[in-house]
Amino acid sequence: MEVRARAPGKIILTGEHAVVHGSTAVAAAIDLYTHVLFRLPSPSENHGSVELELKDLGLVFSWPSLRLEEAFREMGSLPSTPGPCPPDYMQIITRLVRARAPGKIILTGEHAVVHGSTAVAAAIDLYTHVLFRLPSPSENHGSVELELKDLGLVFSWPSLRLEEAFREMGSLPSTPGPCPPDYMQIITRLVEEKNIPEANIALCSGLYVFLYLYTSIHRFKPAIVAVTSELPLGSGLGSSASYCVSLAAALLALSDSISVDDGKNDWLTLEGSNLDLVNKWAFEGEKIIHGKPSGIDNAVSIFGKVLMFKSGDLSQVQCTLPLRMLVTNTNAARNTKALVAGVSNRVSRHLGAMHAVFAAPLTLLAKN
């Protein structure tokens, strides 16, 4: 069954703004139309979604029918006569997704872990927060917007600009993996278009991660993304990993790629089967920022608690008492990528000596 409808546009001859304030306006219909085609799928199609195709923009949006039913169940009864859209109804339509991920402290093996030794790390109760909001139709918001609230910076890319830029790629990544060189070249150009001041140039890697994860997972659909963090940048507390983890988790939830339990505290709760997927995407983000990370930062941010980590293998350290640690911020920022490269250089020049240094903390751990 198909239903077609069309409606003309208009031209206001006089009183366009005055009519809002009670004055008279004169308007006429014009012979330019918006066309809508509704089609009910046949039983053989097994099509269980509500799909909206904006043909002029080349965009398709789809919502599983069961997802819509679940989302609006809390409303009780839905509107059936014309009237203002209730606020709680609009909240469901616009859909907010919040995610947060903790920072970390590495107790031992911070650089050794990159070279195959064991490290011990713990999650800390300082978080990076990410808020995703899908704009409502009335907002006419056709961009992907990233707001770094702590820095007072906003970056925006029109969805059509992103689609145009990545068209030459053919197919985009849809599973976690290293960012292809040609993909990174496109991302770099998109960031360079923003003419970021030299004082904020260190932020570029974070923007690269955002565009890579966003376009890989959520493609080019408009959204407003706000990021805040309780973690100081460049302090060794895993701010970049918590950023990558919270960003990946929110994107995967927004795209219905992972199952989400909407708890009463409004926080995103991931099921165990989805943790690995978030971890893999976050690790690819960490690679963009740090070059050759061990993976311990994102692993601790994902799985929490106290972990032993070696060459990608995790084991949880059983703690019967809560750990209380005093961490002092020297306010001297460090570049993890440069530090890792420096240690790697020492390893290449003094292999035996550096392996002895890496092994020493593990000897102490074994004794205790």
Q: What are the residue numbers of the active site?
A: 297
Q: Of 81, 109, 132, 75, nearest to 343 (Cα)?
A: 109
Are the C-beta atoms of 107 and 121 separated by less than 8 Å? yes
Q: How many CA atoms lie within 13 A of 239 on its CB side?
A: 18
Tokens of 189: 């150009």
Tokens of 74: 């809390």
Q: How far apart are CA 192 and CA 195, in angstroms?
A: 6
Tokens of 87: 């606020």
Are the C-beta atoms of 242 and 301 separated by less than 8 Å? yes
Tokens of 364: 């102490």
Q: How far apart are CA 106 and CA 237, in angstroms?
A: 8
Are the C-beta atoms of 230 and 128 separated by less than 8 Å? yes
Identify the helix (H) or strand (E) that includes residue 126: strand 119-133
Identify the helix (H) or strand (E) that includes residue 36: strand 26-39
